[in-house]
Amino acid sequence: MSLAESRRDQIFPVLDAASMETAKRFASGPPQVFAPGQAIFQLGERHSPAWLVLKGEINITRRDGLHREAPITTMGVGQISGELSELSGRGTLASGHAGPEGCTALPFTGEQIRALIIGAAEIGETLMRAFILRRVALLQEGGAGSVLIGQPGTPDLMRLQNFLSRNGYPCAVMDVAEEEARALVERAAVQPAELPVLVCPNGTVLKRPTDAEAAMCLGITPDLDTNKLHDVVVVGAGPAGLATAVYAASEGLSVLVLDSRSFGGQAGASARIENYLGFPTGISGRALSGRAFSQAQKFGAEIAIPLDVKYLDCGGPKRRPHEPLRVELADGRSIHGRAVVVASGARYRQPNIPNVSDFEGAGVSYWASPFEAKLCEGEVISLIGGGNSAGQAAVFLASRVKHLHMGVRRPLTATMSRYLIDRIAALPNVSVHTGVEVVALEGDEAGALRQATFRGLDSGKFWTFPIRHMFLFIGADPNAEWLAKRIAVDDKGFVVTGRDFAPTDVPVNRAPLPLETSVAGVFAIGDVRAGSTKRVGAAIGEGAAVVAQIHAALAN
């Protein structure tokens, strides 16, 4: 039974008469009358209102990039259209037309639907659950969103799959060898070097697009008002940044979150997190970050993905404490904020192997998503690293592969949680090699990974294993280059906070706050901060704690 069948009452709830009267107070305009078959909202439309049906019906349909259309549902009196796209002003994933007898409906813009969700708690709980479940149903059932066509397992195809999946956007994938896919590629005159192609729901065909190009075509990236002064600009949409967005927006601050890839950060790629408070059976990183992403939007935080941040202009010693900070984007635009929170996390570290970059996307991966797991089903693989992320990935992959060779420099007890060590020890197809490092990778004629050579750190002995996939979890370096040496960092490049900086760039009549950097009004949280605990729970805690300090800084 599909999600739409098993939880239909929650996905398409019906408001009773009293709830409808409450909802009407939040509407953004008077009721509108639509003729039979008239379009009420169109696929891909930005800032489309949600509609409360007062009379008649709305027929909701989905369509993919190949113009394959299918009905979703018919909404009657007391039902509200929309899903997470309407909440945030992104391109809608469905179309709505008035039923055979027409329709009278009440519009709710994104701002008004958020006001309803927050102002009427019981209705808000019902609607948020419905919006989230509608998106999940679209992701599970397909037939809505984009179509990716390419050769399975190629780096660019996997990159786009990961980008769309981690941003919660539905996407169907077709092998270019399939008849329908091959016919489309030939009609569009796509050359092999231009694969993969992305077919957007409106029919636009993008040849080997970047993440940013895909996001613009699909309506994932929101419109930015560069003239707006935000209370808080958060750089990074990992657990720390999302926590800041939720707590700051819920307290009435205007919040903009920027990220170059997706929400969730490294935690979003974790197959299962079992040591986070309140989830005794565990939760995937994607599910946890997806909930936080929806929660931040509920309170009105703007989240702009994928946008690269190039530079933070702190204004220099002549800047006064109340003057805005400027965040410059890679595309030349600038964003201004009264406070800036650096939550840019860390990037995956590369091992010291001469040709490792040659195999990235061709056997070497820095995370273990379902896409990579599917590619290495039934094969012998290797995983390098001994932290908790490595342990979670090993447990996730072991059930799918023939054998997993895990290489670590130190005993697992020095770097990994006990529950993961015990679980790995119980896996019959996992071999843990302690005190080793990878020194060489070799490929086949097609350029895909074929084998890896390990060396014993103490013995100097060499082992060669025939493997097709290697997963690297050997730590991370701070994503702090965009600060351009304007902010104090330690000898490893992590941002220093809470010290008696001398001199500070902006003189204020107070000591730096615990999470404040060497520039007044600029804060650092999560993995990018020097001395932080590299755990999801700690990052979320810092994201919550920094909001009180932002209030104190702005008040001062």
Name the strand (E) or helix (H) holding 71. Answer: strand 69-75
Q: How far is CA 88 from CA 192, 301, 337, 435, in A?
A: 37, 9, 20, 49
- HSE at residue 75, side-chain half, CA atoms within 13 A, is 27
Tell me the DSSP string of 428-457: TTEEEEESEEEEEEEE-TTS-EEEEEEEET
Would you state the pLDDT for residue 8?
Answer: 93
pLDDT of 127 reads 97
Series of mean pLDDT values for 10-residue runs along the chain (556 residues): 85 97 96 98 92 98 85 97 92 94 97 96 96 92 83 88 91 92 92 94 91 92 92 97 98 97 87 85 90 96 96 79 89 96 91 88 86 89 93 94 96 94 96 95 88 94 93 90 90 91 68 92 96 91 97 89
pLDDT at 174: 93
* 155 in Cβ contact with 179 (< 8 Å): no
Domain 356-472: give its CATH superfamily.
FAD/NAD(P)-binding domain (3.50.50.60)
Give the pLDDT score at 125. Answer: 96
Which pLDDT score is estimated for 91? 86
Give the helix/strand (H/E) hosting 111.
helix 110-119
- Residue 10 CB partners (closer than 8 Å, separation 6+): 129, 130, 133
Letter for the amino acid at 185? V
Range 229-347+478-555 has CATH code 3.50.50.60: yes
- Alpha-carbon distance values, 138 to 157, 259, 371 (Å): 21, 24, 18
Residues 6+ apart with CB under 8 A from 14: 76, 77, 78, 79
Alpha-carbon span 526 to 529, nearest angstrom: 6
pLDDT at 20: 97
Instruction: Give the pLDDT score at 516.
Output: 95
Cα separation, 324 vs 320, in Å, equals: 9
Domain 3-141 has CATH 2.60.120.10: yes
**If one looks up domain 146-218 in CATH, what number appears?**
3.40.30.10
Give pLDDT, residue 177: 94
Per-residue pLDDT reduced to its tens digit, 95-106? 999 999 999 999
Domain residue ranges of the chain, discontinuous segments joined by +: 3-141, 146-218, 229-347+478-555, 356-472
Residue 317 has what pLDDT?
65
Fold: same for 229-347+478-555 and 356-472: yes
The reported pTM is 0.89
